[in-house]
Structure 1
Amino acid sequence: MATTDLNRRAALQLLVAGGSAALLAGCAGTPGSPPSSGPATNGGNGGNGRISVTDQRGKTLTFARPVTRVVTIPMPAASLLVAVDRTADNLAAMHNASWVAMRDGIMGTIFPKALALPHEIATQDFTANVESVRALDPDVVIQWSDAQLIDPLEKAGLNVIGLTNNGKQEDVDAWVAMFAAMLGKPERAVDIKSRSDLELAAVKDLAAGRNSTGPSILYFNRFTGGLKVAAANSYNDFYIKLVGGTNPATGDDPLKGSGMVGLDVEQVLRWDPEIILLGNFDAAMPQDLYSDPVWQTVSAVKNRRVYKVPLGGYRWDPPGQESPLMWHWLSDIAFPQQRSLLRNKVTEYFDFLYSHKPTAAELDKVLWAAANADSDHYRQFNAA
């Protein structure tokens, strides 16, 4: 057997045996995701063919066979399950926000049957409609780890895997490992994590090799109907700093609180960010800021450095299977290139995740090419 095969087998054994547990240190959860209630480990197939999975509450579930009917309530979970599985066949239902991302992004094009699945199974705050979920007869329900969200489902006799979001890459790794184990595809988790780790190292090396200080970057989770930005203990703060940027919401004049925090226009004007990112949780576009007199003194607006975050198989702003693509995109936004290699990387990554090579038009849609066309240096992402 080749050395690479031995290394891969060793990595697989570590992952499914719980090697990720130590990475999930307790840390305040982001709003929209309940706080962590414990570390997570993942079990593998036992000698009798049964599958054990320990969720991020520390609760172990055992399945007699790989699951085939999964209901997902946390927003990233539906597309993540599809990416791990490379099919939507085992997805039984999802949260409406997950469905909207599939409809508006590329996932609904790649897996059109997913758009026909039930998606009115929980409220906006993730409270499940227990009767609707039970009627679907799922093998397992994926839910945030808050006891108030999980208890009604478990009291109804449903198997529930609890997830936490501490704003860390290790959470994504844990979710992937759990999903791969319960689907009977633990080796898929090894492949996804290995590729993600390589991309993370590459982005870190790029940042370390720069002599200049990075720009200040402010991420808006919500823009229309009330401003919310990424503060401490958010995944967005992690990747802003990863690429070498600074986040004014966690800088010398930080916001109180963690996760996504509300604020007023005056605070943004005081910060004067050099780059503004608009997330995919509302319809705000760069032109909305460019045309609004309120924002004209902000450096990001004056210099046309406002960008809509890409929307692929899922939104690139929160943690997910396409996060490595977000890291590379943001690196090129912060430190523009003459010609970005991102389109090629997206094509390769989508083939790896979904067995789908996007067309030029699909890549333009993922990257919001039209919406970002008037923003500085966005031509670097155009097709050759």
Structure 2
Amino acid sequence: MKRSMLSLVAAMLCVLFLFAGCASGGESSSQSSVDSTAVEPDSSEDSTEPESGSDSAVRTITDHAGNEVVLPEKVEKVAIGGLTPLTSVYCMFMGSSEGLVGIHPDSKNAAVNSILGEAYPGLKELPDGWASGDDINMEELLKLKPDVVFYNADVTANYEALAAAGIPAVGFSTTLYEDYNTIDTFQAWIELLKDVMGDSDRADGIIAYGEEVKSKVAEKLSSLSDEEKPQALILSNYNESAITAGGISFANYWIESAGGENLGYDIGAFVGQVNMEQVYEWNPEVLFLNSFSAYTPEDLYNNTAVDGHDWSGIKAVQNKRVYKIPLGMYYWFPPSSDSPLMLQWMAKQMHPDLFEDLDIEQEVREYYTQFYGIELTDEQLDLILNPTPESAAAF
């Protein structure tokens, strides 16, 4: 496959990938639309401007888009838009879904069809009709009377519409770091939540855990030579329509941070559509199936995935080194509240001997107890580490 054609297709696929709110770019901003029938603020509600002589009535923060946002001294009502994984991070930070008055329908689907909804059942009842994709129905949103709306910082049309309606809007970004460091992104979301919601007893512990994980994994991998790093590929999605490989973003961060070489790097874009010929040319030693896909490792081992796709000649298939990326509070591939677990899981799959002492099941149990207050059952743990085909269709 010629790289020029691959890069062109990759750019197109990148736009499609953004539907889940995992990342966004200029195209998303220009395509986002807002219901223009109700963009005026409700003058009957309390203004965010301070009363005369009351300097403490509001405060100003800076979000990931670089915008200065004026907020009430105490934020009590929050709506979360198209950055879908952020809902799980909010609940982790707050210790509950308290304060949420509306979420994106994709976030609601995630809550209904994963352990997120079991941990925070209130999410299942929240209004979601005010948002669709990157679009906002301003009339419906104003009915929720939020103190602030969290949105994808790369979708500038959302900010402009919310500002015009007089609703404070705080942008959270997935593209803060050139290397798409997913754990650092997750931690930056926690820091911004501290700015908006106030400090949390949980926040420092969440960030400290992530830093410890990064340090421990990096230390174990520090002595690896390039020859000892397996050539790996993440299929960010795989269905009857296309094979989509991870490129320079989250896929590259996960593979390189876990001690591997990312074969998809040359795609030169977030993700890219490839064919079986390209997969055979790469011939990955380790292959990861994102949980966006309904297929399992057994489908590749048994050639029961897509008709006409023969995986039997791929090293990862021959050596039974195909792994399905877990699905916990959210998909583990993009930034999420489970990102520190993803790095450990990836490193364990890439270098089982180096990480022989890492009991990933126990690590997940302890993490969920410490940061979510959940004692996982064996069934719940199995569903996290071995997502069902049905879970892919739910999002």
Matched with 1:277 is: 288
Q: Whole-Å Cα distance in 1 between the matches of residues 165 and 213 of structure 2? A: 42
Partner of 2:313: 297
Structure 2 residue 353 is matched with structure 1 residue 363: no
Name the count of aligned residue pairs.
326
Task: Report the Cα offset of residue 186 of structure 1.
Answer: 4.8
Go from structure 1 to structure 2 and tell me whether the alpha carbon gap of 1:289 and 1:206 turns closer, same or farther (over 3 Å shift).
same
**Gaps (5+ residues) in structure 1?**
1-29, 37-46, 372-384
Q: 1:66 to 1:206 in 2, by over 3 A?
A: farther
Q: What does 1:40-51 align with in structure 2 at a 5 Å threshold?
A: 48=56, 50-51=58-59
- Determine if the alignment matches structure 1 residue 347 to structure 2 residue 386: no
Distance 1:300 1:198, change over 3 A: same
Larger displacement relative to structure 2 (321-330 or 181-190): 181-190
**Which residue matches 2:343?**
327
Residues 322-355 of structure 1, C-alpha deviation per residue, up to 9 Å, x if partnerless? 1110011111111125564112211221122212
Please report how far the alpha carbon of residue 150 of structure 1 lies from its aligned counterpart in structure 2 after TM superposition: 2.3
On the 8 A contact 1:108/1:114 being kept in 2, the answer is yes
1:318 corresponds in structure 2 to 334
- 2:72 is equivalent to residue 64 of structure 1: yes
Partner of 2:198: 184
State the partner residue of 2:230.
215
Task: Describe the shift of the 1:370–1:80 C-alpha distance in structure 2 as closer, same or farther (beyond 3 A).
Answer: closer
Partner of 2:46: none
Contact in 2 for aligned 1:78/1:91 (Cα 8 Å): no
2-structure distance, mates of 1:273, 1:350: 32
Q: Supply the distance in 1 between the matched residues of 2:200 and 2:58 (Cα, whole angstroms).
A: 13
**Separation in structure 2 between the aligned mates of residue 324 and residue 186 of structure 1, nearest angstrom:** 19
Comparing 356-365 and 63-72, the one that deviates more? 63-72
Distance 1:274 1:101 in 2: 32
Amino acid at match of 2:347: S
Pairwise CA distance, 1:101: 2.4
- The TM-score with structure 2 as length reference comes to 0.76
Q: Determine helix, strand or coil for the equivalent of 1:357.
A: coil
**RMSD of aligned Cα (Å):** 2.3
Q: Percent identity?
A: 26
From 127, 142, 162, the equivalent of 1:134 is 142
Instruction: Give the Cα–Cα distance (whole angstroms) in 2 for the partners of residues 342 and 349 of structure 1.
Output: 10
**CA spacing shift, 1:222–1:89, aligned 2, 3 Å:** same
More displaced 10-residue stretch of structure 1: 236-245 or 142-151: 142-151
For 1:369 and 1:171, locate their aligned partners in 2 and report how far apart those are by CA, in whole Å. 24
Moved more, 67-76 or 209-218: 209-218
What amino acid maps onto 1:296 in structure 2?
S
Deviations 1:213-244, CA, capped at 9 Å, x for gaps: 12122112211132222111x12211210111
> Is the counterpart of residue 34 in structure 1 residue 24 in structure 2?
yes
Pick from 157, 160, 166 the counterpart of residue 169 of structure 2.
Answer: 160
**Corresponding residue SS for 1:180:** helix
Q: Secondary structure at the match of 2:136?
A: coil
Mean alpha-carbon deviation: is it higher for 87-96 or for 330-339?
330-339
Question: Which sections of structure 2, spanning at least 5 residues, go unmatched?
Answer: 1-13, 27-54, 304-308, 390-395
Q: Name the residue aligned to 1:41.
A: none
Change beyond 3 A, Cα 1:370–1:339:
farther
How far does residue 370 in structure 1 lie from its aligned partner after superposition?
Answer: 7.6
Distance in 2, matches of 1:255 and 1:275, equals 18
Instruction: Normalising by structure 1, report the TM-score.
Output: 0.78
Query: 127-136 vs 209-218, which deviates more?
Result: 209-218
* Amino acid in the other structure paired with 1:182: V
After TM superposition, give the deviation of residue 103 of structure 1 in Å. 2.5
- Output the amino acid matched with 2:278: Q
